[in-house]
Amino acid sequence: MEIIRTVKRLEEICRAAGESGKSIGLVPTMGALHAGHKSLVDRARKENDILVVSVFVNPTQFNNPDDLRTYPRTEEADSAMLENCGADYVFMPTAEEIYPEPDTRVFDLGPVAEVMEGAMRPGHFNGVAQIVSKLFAWVRPTRAYFGEKDFQQIAVIRKMAALEGFDFDIVACPIVREADGLALSSRNVRLTAEGRAIAPQIHSLLEKSRQLKEQGLKPAEVARATAEAIDSVAGLTTEYYQIVDALTMQPVDDWSDAGAEGTVGCVTVYCDNVRLIDNIRY
Ligand code: PAF
C-alpha cells in the first residue's frame, strides 16, 4: 500500500490505471475509520482492480469551527486498517495540497441540498461538492462508494456528478450498526458512557415508527410523533425529523406521493452535545 500526499502522484497513478484498462474503486473518507468505512472499503476491494481510499478532514464542509477542531484524527490507525483491508493507495493530503487557492466554486445543487442538513448546516453540501468533485476529477473512478448513514449526502453527490458530467457509478452502501442498533459514526467516540447508553434508542424509535405508518398515520404525523418520542428520552434532543422522497429529498404529504425509491425518514439528534444522524426506509 502506498500513501500518497500529492495530487500530482494521485493523478499519475490513476491515469496509468485507467490507460491500462483497470477499474478503479474510490472510497472518500474523513478518516477515524470504523467498521462502517470498512464495509465500503471491503466492497470496493471486491469490485475493482485498484482501490484508492482518501482520508482528508475537509475544512470547507464544516460550518462549525468547533466541530472541525474536535473531529477525530487517527491517521496511523487508519493506515493500518486500510493496509489490512488490501487498499492499494491511500491519499492523505494536507489542506494546502487540496486548496492551494480558496475554492470559490458555488454548485447549483438545487432542492436536494436545501432541506434537512442543507437547511441546518449552511454551506456544508457545497463544501462536500467541492472536495468530492476534486477527488472525482483527479481519480476518475469506475465506482465511488458512500455510506447511506449520510443519506442526503448521496443525493447531493449524484446531483453534483450530473452537473459536472461525471458518469461514474455512485454506489450507496447500507448503514452498519453496533449490536444495539446505534449507527456507526466517527463522532460516536465523543459520547460519554451515559450518552452511549441512550443513543441506541434513536434507531429503536425509528424502527418502532414503522408501526405508526401501518396504523394509517401520514408521513408528517409519523415524523412528529417520532421526534416527540425521541425528545421524551432524557438526554436526546431532535434537531429535525423529516420523511422525504428517497430520491428528491422533498417532504411527501402522502406515502403514495413518493417515487420509485419510496420514502426515507432522516433524523438528527443531539446527544451529549454530539450531533448524531440516522435514517430509516418506510
Ligand atoms: O461522508 C464523509 O465522510 C465526507 O462528507 C466525504 C464524502 C468524505 C467528503 O469529505
pLDDT tens-digit map of 235-278: 999 999 999 999 999 999 999 999 999 999 999 999 999 999 99
Q: Which atom of ligand 1 is nearest to the CA of 56?
A: 10
CB 186 less than 6 A from any atom of ligand 1: no
Nearest alpha carbon to residue 175 among 281, 258, 85, 87? 281
Task: With beta carbons less than 8 A apart as the criterion, state whether 141 and 54 touch.
Answer: no
CB 187 within 8 A of CB 269: no
pLDDT of residue 192: 97
Contact (CB, 8 A) for 168 and 79: no
Catalytic (active site) residue 37: yes
SS in 3 state form for 193-231? HHHHHHCHHHHHHHHHHHHHHHCCCCHHHHHHHHHHHHH
Q: Where are the alpha helices (DSSP H) in 88-167?
A: 95-98, 117-120, 124-139, 151-164
For residue 33, the model assigns a pLDDT of: 97
Is the CB–ligand 1 distance for residue 58 below 6 Å? Answer: yes
Count of Cβ atoms closer than 10 Å to residue 75 Cβ? 13
The parts of the chain modelled with pLDDT lower than 50 are none
Of these residues, 34, 37, 124, 203, which one is catalytic?
A: 37
Instruction: Find where cell 422525504 sits.
Output: 244
Ligand 1 pocket test, pick from 67, 131, 186 with the greatest ligand atom count within 8 Å of Cβ, gives 131
| C-beta 128 within 6 A of ligand 1 | yes
Cell numbers standing for residue 71 = 473531529
Query: What per-residue confidence (pLDDT) applies to 94?
Result: 98
Interval between CA 234 and ligand 1 midpoint (Å): 30
Answer for the pair 192, 270: CB distance below 8 angstroms, yes or no: no
> What is the pLDDT at residue 28?
98
**160 touches ligand 1 (CB under 6 Å):** no
Report yes or no: 130 and 60 within 8 Å, Cβ to Cβ. Answer: yes
Indicate whether residue 60 lines ligand 1 (CB < 6 A). Answer: no
pLDDT at 143: 98
**Is the distance from CB of 2 to CB of 88 less than 8 angstroms?**
yes
Task: Return the best residue to mutate from 124, 125, 150 for the ligand 1 pocket (most ligand atoms within 8 A of CB).
Answer: 150
CA angle 73–136–260, rounded 5-degree value: 100
**pLDDT tens figures, 11-49:** 999 999 999 999 999 999 999 999 999 999 999 999 999
Strands 236-245 and 2-4: unpaired
User: What is the pairing mode between strands 143-147 and 24-29?
Assistant: parallel
Establish whether residue 209 lines the binding site of ligand 1, counting it when its CB lies within 6 angstroms of any ligand atom: no
Specify whether the backbone of 216 is left (phi greater than 0), alpha (psi in -120 to 50) or beta.
Answer: left
- In short, whether 152's Cβ falls inside 6 Å of ligand 1 is no
- For residue 53, CA distances in Å to 1, 26, 100, 186 come to 11, 6, 21, 16
Which of 30, 57, 149, 154 to probe ligand 1 with, by most ligand atoms within 8 A of CB? 30
